């Protein structure tokens, strides 16, 4: 069957061993299964988010912090039954949710797994937002939370840094579908439920909704402000917005993209977060301190 799961629409037969832009066949490869404590507070909580990192990616971000995983050079194959066991083991370990990282090229297999797993914790679909609406619709009723990037509004930046000039319009359509599926945010704390909360209830966990992340890049405060304005004017407080300062300069980026060969300054981050508050964004998250070193993900190992 020709693959059209993502916007690349490579039309290769992955079931027969063909590899599309994502670099993966139809066989599910998983790079890591483990609790993760560095997501937004309402996702990680105290016990961690049960993350499953899938190998391969339909973007080629030049600044990618997980290049070996994105290129499909890390991980091991898992059957639907093994994947179900991994989900259940994370739930049994006390993780607050099952967090599917870069899942779009495996959506049919993931949907099948979720239907047989019988999970009692929310499912988080963790995505770059470079998604086909038709593929996201396969997750309706299965994904409780969308943890979605919104990287660029500028096509030139999307082409230059992620090799996807169509990213802005694609992400806009994908985000509309995510919000359609989940509606407003819903949090729980103890037995108390908070619906459409304008501000994150301290200590609560999200059980339904959309969080949109924007990673601030060096020298791109203007683009960040455009993204934040778009998100707020389009969705208001229906979504939560997370502004990230974890950009990490990597050695291979310096030669081709010298403008990215530094960290984001405290002044840049403050400028963007102040703009968000002036805009009226009251439902969201800021990163405290410098989290760049925590963004690196080790390769899969038995026992993770």
Instruction: Identify the band that residue 191 occupies on the pLDDT scale cut at 50, 70 and 90.
Output: confident
CA distance 218 to 224: 10
Reply yes or no on whether the pLDDT at 194 is more than 70.
Answer: yes
Per-residue pLDDT of 48-60, as tens digits, reads: 999 999 999 999 9
Reply yes or no on whether the pLDDT at 202 is more than 90.
Answer: no
CA distance 200 to 285: 8
Q: Which of 3-17, 152-166, 277-291 has the lowest mean pLDDT?
A: 277-291
- For residue 194, give every residue at least 6 positions away whose Cβ sits within 8 Å of its Cβ, in sequence order, or none: 186, 187, 188, 201, 204
Nearest to 217 by CA among 62, 69, 36: 62
What is the structure's pLDDT at 72? 63
What is the structure's pLDDT at 46? 96
3-state secondary structure of 55: coil
Per-residue pLDDT of 237-258, as tens digits, reads: 999 999 999 999 988 888 899 9
Among positive and negative, which fits the CA dihedral 186, 46, 201, 294?
negative
What is the structure's pLDDT at 287? 75
Percent above pLDDT 70 for the chain = 92
Reply yes or no on whether the pLDDT at 108 is more than 90.
Answer: yes
- Give the predicted TM-score (pTM) of the model: 0.94
Contact 205, 45 (CB under 8 A): yes
């Amino acid at each position: 069957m020709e693959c059209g799961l993502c916007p690349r629409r490579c039309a290769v037969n992955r079931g027969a061993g063909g590899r599309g832009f994502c670099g993966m066949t139809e066989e599910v490869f998983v790079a890591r299964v483990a609790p993760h404590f560095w997501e937004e507070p309402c996702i990680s909580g105290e016990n961690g988010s049960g993350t499953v990192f899938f190998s391969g990616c339909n973007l080629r971000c030049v600044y990618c912090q997980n290049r070996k995983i994105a290129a499909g050079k890390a991980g091991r194959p898992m059957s639907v039954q093994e994947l179900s066991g991994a989900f259940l083991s994370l739930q049994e370990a006390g993780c607050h949710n099952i967090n599917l990282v870069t899942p779009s090229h495996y959506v049919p297999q993931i949907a099948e797994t979720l239907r047989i797993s019988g999970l009692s914790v929310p499912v988080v679909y963790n995505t770059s937002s470079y998604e086909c609406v038709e593929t996201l619709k396969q997750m309706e009723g299965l994904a409780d939370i969308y943890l979605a990037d919104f990287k660029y509004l500028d096509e030139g930046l999307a082409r230059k840094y992620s090799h996807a000039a169509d990213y802005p319009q694609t992400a806009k359509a994908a985000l509309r579908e995510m919000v359609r599926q989940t509606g407003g945010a819903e949090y729980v704390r103890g037995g108390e439920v908070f619906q459409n909360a304008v501000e994150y209830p301290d200590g609560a966990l999200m059980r339904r909704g959309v969080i949109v992340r924007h990673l601030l890049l060096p020298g791109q405060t203007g683009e960040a402000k455009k993204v934040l304005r778009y998100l707020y004017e389009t969705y208001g407080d229906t979504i939560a917005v997370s502004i990230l300062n974890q950009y990490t300069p990597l050695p291979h980026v310096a030669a081709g993209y010298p403008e990215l060969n530094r960290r984001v300054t405290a002044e840049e981050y403050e400028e963007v977060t102040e703009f968000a508050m002036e805009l009226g964004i009251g439902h969201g998250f800021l990163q405290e301190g410098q989290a760049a070193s925590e963004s690196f993900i080790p390769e899969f190992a038995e026992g993770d």
